[in-house]
Amino acid sequence: MMLFDKILKHRDAIAISMVFCSGPLNYGIRDGLGVAPNSAIFTLIFMFGGIFLALPYRDLNKLYRNDTPLTFLALVYLVVTLLYMFVYVKEYYFPITVKIYDCIVIGITLYFLFYLSTVKAKSLRFNFLRFSIFISFIGCLGLLAYAVLNPDFVLGQRLAISFKGDSEMDSMGNPHIFGRGAFFGIISALIYLKYETKSIYRNLTYLSLLAFLAVLVLSQAMSSIMAGFGAIAFFVWHNSSFLGIIKGARKLLTKWYVWVILIALIGKGIDVFRKNEAIIELGYNVIERRVEKLVNTIFASEDENDITAEEVVTDESAEGRVVTLKIVKESLIENFEEGWYHKIFFGHGYFALYVDVPIVEVFHSYGLAGLSIFLVFFISMIIYSWREMKNPQTIISEWTAYGFVYFFIFTFTNGLIMDYNRWTFFIMVCRFMPPAIKYVTQLKVSKA
């Protein structure tokens, strides 16, 4: 009964943590252990079930909101999506499942907006960070254990749990899921270390941070790696000075046990290298080949006679993205040449092409009109997040600001524009970014 009372007390922190940090845990239970059904329905219930279960236990007569334009801008874009969905659809037939998925995404987004309006920012604080670290750590630890116990795993291979299925994609799994879980674990740990003073909790957090960094790197999800180290760089930039880093390093190197640990690690590293030289070389070759594929995909020779088909080494995911971007370019040129200016301004219609680059998909489907609406919303989130990094008002708003780095990167790299991970986080930005008037007031007070 006491456990239920604690869960009930921290229901909001647990529920929101599950939305953003439970991806690795979900797929570990579902595809790693095989003790849960392999279905999208289970995934949605696992990630979002908490926010539905937590809603009844609150006073719905009291709602919270921020005086920023972000929520309005988000709703405007979602309304535009619905209008295109039912009014301006591309001429060709596309699966009805696409429309159903987007309707589910919009439904979850709107519900999440309502749910967060019942959550007070001050009720999250440390509890939210602790649950985020714990959930992310369990998921990442499970992935590392899966790799250690998997006899087919080779150092240098992308670290992910294989999906249950017969396709090549199922056998590979999706490393972005685990990269995302590691990313949110990293920013949760960094912010927690910033405020936590108890050494036992700090040491445990450092341990979890090592696991997050290991999974982030081993997953080889390049967008997640860029976002992870980008968020770390921003955090260091805003929370320390160069002189402070020098002093910290000097203080650390004066500790005798630090040198003992360093010497032990170096010695162990040399020993591991000698015993596993062949395996490490194989891992290096795998990574080198992945980089070679990506480079050849982007900078492939336009002269087909220069290289034979057997000599071309490409990354299939990146190659597919390059092909669709070429289609978008050709469509834009054709619109100018044929005088189809309405397609330039209003786009080619709802889900006209899966580009795998969200911001380009917006332009191709919704044209300059839809892109302008999205950019106003997106740039506004950038401004508010950057401002919050420089001068955080609450723990949850600071966490949201650094978390936005992930979706900033992914907006220009890969994924769908209508995705429940993306839009639930956008709603976090809308709900918890403090209004700019607070900063103006503080600035005036400090000058006085």
Higher pLDDT residue, 268 or 102? 102
Q: What is the pLDDT of residues 7-16, one digit of tens each?
A: 777 788 899 9
- The reported pLDDT for the residue numbered 20 is 93
**pLDDT classification of 415: cutoffs 50, 70, 90:** confident
As a whole number of angstroms, the distance between CA 123 and CA 398 comes to 15
Q: Is the pLDDT of residue 47 over 50?
A: yes
- Token look-up 């987007």 returns 102
- The reported pLDDT for the residue numbered 188 is 94
Q: Is the pLDDT of residue 368 over 60?
A: yes
Q: Is the pLDDT of residue 313 over 70?
A: no
- The reported pLDDT for the residue numbered 134 is 94
Torsion angle in degrees (nearest 10) through CA of 80, 82, 85, 88: -40
118: tokens are 């019942």
Q: What is the pLDDT of residues 249-265, one digit of tens each?
A: 676 667 666 677 678 76
- Beta carbons within 8 Å of 360's beta carbon, 6+ residues apart: 325, 328
Q: Is the pLDDT of residue 109 over 90?
A: yes
Degrees (nearest 5) of the Cα angle 406, 407, 410? 95
Higher pLDDT residue, 248 or 359? 359
Q: Is the pLDDT of residue 294 over 60?
A: no
List the one residue out of 223, 210, 56, 215 whose CA is nearest residue 139. 215
Q: What is the pLDDT of residues 239-253, one digit of tens each?
A: 876 666 676 667 666
- The reported pLDDT for the residue numbered 385 is 95
Pick from 67-71, 157-161, 369-373: least confident: 157-161
**pLDDT classification of 311: cutoffs 50, 70, 90:** very low
> What is the arithmetic mean of pLDDT over 40-67?
81
Q: Is the pLDDT of residue 218 over 80?
A: yes
- Beta carbons within 8 Å of 403's beta carbon, 6+ residues apart: 20, 183, 184, 187, 231, 425, 428
Buried b (16+ CB within 10 A) or exposed e, 295-333: ebbeebeeeeeeeeeeeeebbeebbebeebeeebeebee
> What is the arithmetic mean of pLDDT over 229-247?
81
Tell me, letter by letter, the H, E, C secondary structure of 172-227: HCCHHHHHHHHHHHHHHHHHHHHHCCCHHHHHHHHHHHHHHHHHHHHHCCHHHHHH
> What is the arithmetic mean of pLDDT over 22-27?
86
- Beta carbons within 8 Å of 416's beta carbon, 6+ residues apart: 354, 358, 361, 422
- Beta carbons within 8 Å of 337's beta carbon, 6+ residues apart: none
**pLDDT classification of 405: cutoffs 50, 70, 90:** very high
- The reported pLDDT for the residue numbered 23 is 86
207: amino acid identity, one letter: L
Considering 9-23, 305-319, 426-440, the range whose residues carry the highest mean pLDDT is 9-23
- The reported pLDDT for the residue numbered 164 is 55
Q: What is the pLDDT of residues 62-92, one digit of tens each?
A: 787 788 899 999 999 999 999 998 888 766 6
> What is the arithmetic mean of pLDDT over 174-187?
90
- Beta carbons within 8 Å of 333's beta carbon, 6+ residues apart: none
- Residue pair 177/160 in contact by the 8 Å Cβ criterion: yes
Q: Is the pLDDT of residue 158 over 70?
A: yes
Buried b (16+ CB within 10 A) or exposed e, 110-121: ebbbebbbbbeb
- The reported pLDDT for the residue numbered 41 is 84
- The reported pLDDT for the residue numbered 310 is 38
**pLDDT classification of 291: cutoffs 50, 70, 90:** low
